[in-house]
């Protein structure tokens, strides 16, 4: 995982002696939450976001693409922070950082076929050139980087990998400082992927671990679309049982998304207009108070506590 640099750019210039608190946003979803919080960043003056707070989304690296389990995501962010603290990371992290570099430099764009091929070459180089497994710790960053990039250039059409890539990779860290900053895990209460069973209570684990680490844990039950529905008073007219169960209504959509599209025409998880939502944020925070906001109860009740993190930002 890595910081989204473009999103993290400040919209205001602050005096050098003003301390800035960074909120690192770790999303379960790949698009929906990121679109919303990017709109929040762009509308920060209108929404009255504190100018001393910076929003920094954490985005997935290549091997993490498609992850949707909050426990898995939480464990990885903890692992990444430990790597930054110790300076020691695995070969999987090294390969991910090389892929991140390729994306940042626009050597890789949106082609999943090309990305899959390049990852395969790097994985093959790790196994056959370096004689290492992905979960082994990196021995010599500079030497291993040089061998992997040389092999990548040899086996593919990739060009323009700079000589000092090891320095770039070493500097591509998550700049979290637990004395000032906050990690915010923003997830859905998806009963199918986020289990809360007697022998495998992932919900309790994530809640407990976030509390122990001082991370923020923000849940929408059944999903983030419910937080979006809270921007509209029509949310009170919806069937509470259906909201909780969120059944399939059409071949492509469940109840919550189906109802949201009535209020936010054209809504899609990967692309939707946010102007109406930004104008109704205070309404959403107020409406949220009429539903469950307590983390212990959100496991089983319709509600959300996303409004609480937005209030912290103001």
DSSP conformation letters of 276-292: HHHHTHHHHHHHHTTSB
What pLDDT, on a 0 to 100 scale, did the predictor assign at position 10?
41
Query: How many whole angstroms separate alpha carbon 280 and alpha carbon 12?
Result: 24
pLDDT of 9 higher than 50: no
Joined tokens for residue 235: 């949310």
What pLDDT, on a 0 to 100 scale, did the predictor assign at position 61?
84
The mean per-residue pLDDT over the stretch 93-111 comes to 84
**164-191 pLDDT, tens per residue?**
666 666 665 678 888 889 999 999 998 7
The mean per-residue pLDDT over the stretch 102-117 comes to 84
pTM metric for this prediction: 0.88
H or E element at residue 54: strand 53-59
Contacts of 83 (CB under 8 A, 6+ apart): 89, 90, 93
| pLDDT confidence tier of residue 161, bands split at 50, 70 and 90 | low
| pLDDT confidence tier of residue 198, bands split at 50, 70 and 90 | confident
pLDDT of 8 higher than 60: no
What pLDDT, on a 0 to 100 scale, did the predictor assign at position 67?
84
Residue 66's region, left for phi above 0, alpha for psi from -120 to 50, else beta, is left
Burial tier of 47 (Cβ tally within 10 Å: 0-12, 13-18, 19+): middle
**231-247 pLDDT, tens per residue?**
999 999 999 999 999 99
Q: Which of 131, 145, 65, 134 is nearest to 101 (CA)?
A: 145
What pLDDT, on a 0 to 100 scale, did the predictor assign at position 175?
81
Q: What is the mean pLDDT of the chain?
A: 88
The mean per-residue pLDDT over the stretch 186-212 comes to 89
Burial tier of 303 (Cβ tally within 10 Å: 0-12, 13-18, 19+): buried
């Amino acid at each position: 995982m890595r910081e989204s640099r473009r999103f993290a750019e400040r919209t205001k210039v602050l005096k050098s002696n003003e301390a800035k608190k960074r909120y690192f946003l770790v999303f379960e979803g790949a698009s929906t939450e990121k679109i919303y919080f990017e709109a929040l960043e762009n509308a920060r003056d209108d929404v009255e976001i504190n100018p001393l707070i910076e929003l920094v989304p954490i985005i997935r690296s290549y091997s993490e693409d498609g992850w949707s389990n909050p426990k898995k995501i939480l464990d990885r962010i903890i692992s990444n922070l430990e790597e930054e603290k110790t300076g020691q990371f695995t070969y999987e992290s090294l390969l991910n950082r090389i892929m991140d570099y390729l994306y940042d430099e626009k050597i890789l764009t949106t082609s999943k076929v090309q990305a899959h091929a390049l990852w395969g070459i790097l994985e093959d180089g790790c196994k056959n050139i370096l004689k290492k497994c992905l979960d082994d710790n990196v021995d010599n960053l500079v030497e291993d980087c040089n061998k992997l990039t040389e092999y990548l250039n040899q086996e593919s059409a990739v060009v323009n990998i700079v000589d000092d890539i090891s320095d770039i990779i070493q500097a591509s860290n998550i700049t979290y400082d637990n004395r000032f900053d906050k990690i915010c895990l923003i997830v859905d209460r998806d009963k199918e992927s986020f289990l809360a069973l007697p022998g495998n209570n992932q919900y309790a684990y994530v809640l407990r671990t976030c509390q122990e680490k001082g991370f923020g844990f923000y849940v929408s039950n059944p999903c983030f679309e419910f937080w979006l529905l809270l921007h509209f008073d029509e949310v009170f007219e919806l069937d509470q049982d259906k909201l909780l169960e969120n059944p399939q209504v059409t071949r492509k959509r469940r109840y919550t998304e189906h109802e949201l599209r009535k209020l936010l025409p054209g809504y899609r998880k990967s692309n939707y207009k946010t102007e109406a939502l930004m104008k109704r944020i205070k309404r959403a925070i107020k409406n949220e108070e009429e539903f469950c906001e307590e983390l212990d109860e959100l496991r089983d009740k319709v509600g959300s506590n996303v409004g609480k993190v937005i209030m912290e930002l103001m």
